[in-house]
Structure 1
Amino acid sequence: MLAEMSVSTFRALHLGRAAGDPLVLPGPWDAASARIFADAGFPALATPSAGVAASLGYEDGSTPPDEMFAAVARIVRAVAVPVSADIEGGYGLAPAELVGRLLETGAVGCNLEDSENHATLKDPVRHADWLAEVRAEAGDALFINARVDTFLIGTGDPADAVARARRYVAAGADCVYPLAAPREVLAELRKGIDGPINLAAGPDRESVAELAWLGATRITFGPQLQRYAMGAIGELAARLRA
């Protein structure tokens, strides 16, 4: 029952938001950072796969799924707010196993990207069919954030991004995430996509505010907060060695 309430709470955080008032979800990379963000008052968190990978000593995209799911579970256990997990492309797992392993971690949502090996876009029809299978397995137990990589490794055509996003929403995605979409196309994306849109900000208030007024429903940071923290530690280390 608690898990069901958490999913409902997380889903509700995305709905009915006023223009300029997006849901801001920091990205913890371990239990300690999760507690810092939760203690700061954020109502939910969203793990970044690249940040978690770095914390475990892996390159982005190279984390073994067992270690990624274990890291997500540690983060979930550390806080009392809902946590969504970036699980990249699903690690080649069948929808039933993928959903089962996610639910075992206690996560209430997930990011699922539509590219392979950070190099090629998946066929949007087949990917939408796969997302529909994930949705069927999960029912209402998971909030699905479908990443659209058109601007990251694809053509960069806003029309393609909109078409992909519409397919994924029709397949059951709760939110779409056009990663690396340039500022000048955000109005077109907002007009063409029904439902919540996730945009990625930098680790500064100005970036968050700009994306808020450009139509973001939800703002995440990818690995930027983890990299910011590591940069601060690097500066401290240099001072200690001086």
Structure 2
Amino acid sequence: MPFRALHVPGDPLIMPNPWDVGSAVLLQNMGAKALASTSAGAAFARGKPDGALSLDEMLGAATEIDAATRVPVSADLENGDADTPDGAAAAMCRAAEAGLAGASLEDLGKDGVTYPTALAIERVEAAVAATRDSRLVLTARSEGLLTGTLPRDAVCARISAFAKAGADVVFVPGLTSLEDVTAVVQAAGDTPVSVLIGARSPDLTIANLANAGVARVSVGSGMARAAYGAAMAMMRGVQATGQITYPDNTASFADIEALLK
């Protein structure tokens, strides 16, 4: 099924975020219908902090996953490593040319400053125009709630503008309440909405998000951070006690290898 068709409001696509090829194959073989790279997870896997990867490195991480799997793959390309509309469009074109099913574009510069509204909209418009004849599913992201730089009303106004500009999907990381989710879904109109479930959003169950009309759910860097957190806990434990303690959910060789065949 085409990637775009998997986005059904009220029946959200569960799209996990692998951080390398091994985790991608494992998640696919556990039943994921689509995958999304995570810029943070890809950076961690390369020994770098979030935001430190170049566009080439972000594309490389996503295309490695795409080459190793059979399901649609969407690339987290942050701001496209460019501030201008032409630069944003060029980044999305590169994702389309690489054969990726989707790519996301943020309204946040590498300096952590949210773009002015007019520029943010122009970037989405340029990306939409440049990829119109491709199969790329373009996700327009507003980072204002996640970074605390924009109030909800301003973020919703951007989401509405991104939808009108032709984005295939809109995405607001940092939503923590059903009230916020409902406001974004209403602002998006007929455009599918993607929601990231974070560790501190217990009300954002799949059932609640489906009832709110959400079309896609992801976890961003959550799986990568969980894996790294387990490794850190083991190292800290042996340093503190002299004993190595494995987490209760440590997978066996047999479990992992069965999913990698």
Interval containing the TM-score (normalised by the shorter chain): 0.7 to 0.9
Give 1:124-203 correspondences, 5 Å limit.
Answer: 124-139=117-132, 140-183=134-177, 184-194=179-189, 195-202=191-198
In our comparison, the structure showing a higher alpha carbon Rg is 2
CA distance in 2, matches of 1:88, 1:163: 20
Query: Secondary structure of the residue that 1:199 maps to in structure 2?
Result: strand
Structure 2 match to 1:116: 109
Q: Do the aligned residues in 1 keep the contact of 2:121 with 2:161 (CA within 8 Å)?
A: yes
Q: Do the aligned residues in 2 keep the contact of 1:87 with 1:111 (CA within 8 Å)?
A: yes
Q: Which moved more, 1:176-185 or 1:211-220?
A: 211-220
Query: Secondary structure of the residue that 1:219 maps to in structure 2?
Result: strand
Higher helix fraction (1 or 2): 1
Q: Which moved more, 1:198-207 or 1:112-121?
A: 198-207
Give the drift of 1:226.
Answer: 0.6
Give the drift of 1:236.
Answer: 4.9
Query: Secondary structure of the residue that 1:110 maps to in structure 2?
Result: strand
Describe the shift of the 1:118–1:96 C-alpha distance in structure 2 as closer, same or farther (beyond 3 A): closer
Structure 2 match to 1:80: 70
Query: Secondary structure of the residue that 1:198 maps to in structure 2?
Result: strand
CA distance in 1, matches of 2:182, 2:54: 37
Q: Which amino acid aligns with 2:181?
A: L
Q: Do the aligned residues in 2 keep the contact of 1:208 with 1:219 (CA within 8 Å)?
A: no
TM-score by length of 2: 0.80
Structure 2's unaligned 5+ residue stretches are 246-261
Stretches of 4+ moved more than 3 A in 1? 202-208, 210-215, 233-242
Q: Do the aligned residues in 2 keep the contact of 1:95 with 1:137 (CA within 8 Å)?
A: no
Q: Which amino acid aligns with 1:216?
A: V
What per-residue deviation string (whole Å, max 9, x for no partner) do you get for residues 46-92 of structure 1? 11111111111111111122222212111110100000000000111
1:223 aligns with 2:213: no
Give the drift of 1:30.
Answer: 0.9
Q: Do the aligned residues in 2 keep the contact of 1:26 with 1:45 (CA within 8 Å)?
A: yes
Q: Do the aligned residues in 2 keep the contact of 1:125 with 1:167 (CA within 8 Å)?
A: no
Query: Secondary structure of the residue that 1:120 maps to in structure 2?
Result: coil
Give the drift of 1:229.
Answer: 1.4
RMSD: 2.4
Q: What is the percentage of aligned positions where both structures have the same residue?
A: 31
Q: Which moved more, 1:186-195 or 1:25-34?
A: 186-195
Give the drift of 1:95.
Answer: 4.5
Q: Do the aligned residues in 1 keep the contact of 2:39 with 2:78 (CA within 8 Å)?
A: yes
Q: Which amino acid aligns with 1:138?
A: T
Give the drift of 1:96.
Answer: 5.2
Give 1:7-86 correspondences, 5 Å limit.
Answer: 9-15=2-8, 17=9, 19=10, 21-86=11-76
Q: Do the aligned residues in 2 keep the contact of 1:202 with 1:208 (CA within 8 Å)?
A: no
CA distance in 2, matches of 1:198, 1:126: 22
Give the drift of 1:235.
Answer: 4.2
Give the drift of 1:106.
Answer: 2.4
